[in-house]
Each structure stands twice: as structure tokens, then as C-alpha cells.
Amino acid sequence: QQQVKQSPQSLIVQKGGISIINCAYENTAFDYFPWYQQFPGKGPALLIAIRPDVSEKKEGRFTISFNKSAKQFSLHIMDSQPGDSATYFCAASEETSGSRLTFGEGTQLTVNP
Amino acid sequence: GAVVSQHPSRVICKSGTSVKIECRSLDFQATTMFWYRQFPKQSLMLMATSNEGSKATYEQGVEKDKFLINHASLTLSTLTVTSAHPEDSSFYICSARSGGGYTFGSGTRLTVV
């Protein structure tokens, strides 16, 4: 019940295209859903996060869509750039209880020029 | 924003020796620190959760006598890999709860030869 399933495992997109990564969870107590971007040899960096009281959050080219009833959330990267090439992790936690993050398996995104 | 400084960024040690990794919260107090391990092309695996002034809680399968965690102050947590062996070679990352989310260190690449 603590798992977060992420897909696809890898994704190749052309410059200017839209990258879409999906995650699904089981634990209905999760109340914090962040996305992290990780470059090789670096720690994860918070990209954008959402809480279940909203269905969508947009920050620049990055949008999270959240479907509470389906227990799914996704990251959309608009106008994808080669500099976006990285590994992306979704995660979830029961923030109100201070619990740890549960991570998805990760998606290796490659944006071709 | 919140910053977690992690040192060293990479370390090479001989088999049988011990290595200490430090994580410092620079502009906030980290009551709780999380330590992760990440193998190539895999997700982050939580090793242990440490709370300032108390013993760390280790995840199932993580040897607490091998991975010593000390969280003696609100700004410093350390992970010591004792009697390191080649199979301990990995990328170690710390994280702390900060504000409404989690901040990650830049990671430590440990290579045991």
C-alpha cells in the first residue's frame, strides 16, 4: 500500500514536444505529491508539488495533473528542451503525520535537439 | 530556500575502512533527517530516519551496526559506513524536512576498492 508506481521507465521526446510521466498510488492517506528532477551525480531537486485539494498546478513549463478518485497524478513538461534531459521521480507522503517520502521508480527523460 | 549541504561529494576508500558522510542544514533546523541509498538507474531507497537527539530508525534489511547515523544537533546529521566493502559502493543522499517539503543534499558517491 506504500508503493508508488511510475511509468514510463524511459521517454524520448523531440525538442519542443510534450513530456508526460504518470504515477499511481494506493495509500489514500498520502497528502503531498512532489516531483523531483535528478541529474547524474546530483541529489534530487524539487520541481513542483501538489496537494490533493487541487486537481492541477502549473509552474512555468511544468504542470501536475492530479486525479484523486483514480489515485493518479502526472507531470507534463511543455516545450521540452534538451536541458530537461534528466531522471524524474514522483513521490508521495503523509505530510500531516511527518512520514517519509515514498518514491516512484523513476523515468529517464531524453529530449533530442 | 532551504539548503542541505552534503560532504564529501565523492570518496574512495579501501575495503575494511570507515567513511563518514556529513549533512548540514544551512538555514533551517532539521528535526528529522532521512538517509537514502541509490544504485545506478534505480530509485532512492530509504535506509534510515534520524531524529535529533534520539536513535535512528532503520528500514528493514539495513544493518544498523554497519551504517551508523548520528543526529546530535538540529543542523548536523552524519552517516558512517563502517568496515566498508565493495558492495557498499553506492550513491548516498540525505534529506531533511523543510517548510512544506523535503530538501535533498547533493549526494556522496562512495567507491570502496
Q: Chain A: nearest CA to B87, how far in angstroms?
A: 18
Comparing alpha-carbon positions, the chain A residue that sits nearest to B6 is A43
pLDDT tens digits, B48-88: 999 888 889 999 999 999 999 999 889 999 999 999 999 99
Each of the 113 residues of chain A gets a pLDDT tens digit; together they read 569 999 999 999 999 999 999 999 999 999 999 999 999 999 999 999 999 999 999 999 999 999 999 999 999 999 999 999 999 999 999 877 767 899 999 999 999 99
Comparing alpha-carbon positions, the chain B residue that sits nearest to A105 is B43
**What is the Cα Rg of chain B in Å?**
13
Q: Chain A: nearest CA to B57, how far in angstroms?
A: 12
CB contact under 8 A, B101 and A32: yes
Judged by DSSP in three states, A96 sits in: helix
CB contact under 8 A, B101 and A46: yes
Parallel, antiparallel, or unpaired: how do β-strands B76-81 and B19-25 relate? antiparallel
Residue A13 identity (one-letter amino acid): V
Q: Mean of the pLDDT values across residues B21-37? A: 93
Q: What phi, psi does A95 have (nearest 5°)?
A: -60, -35
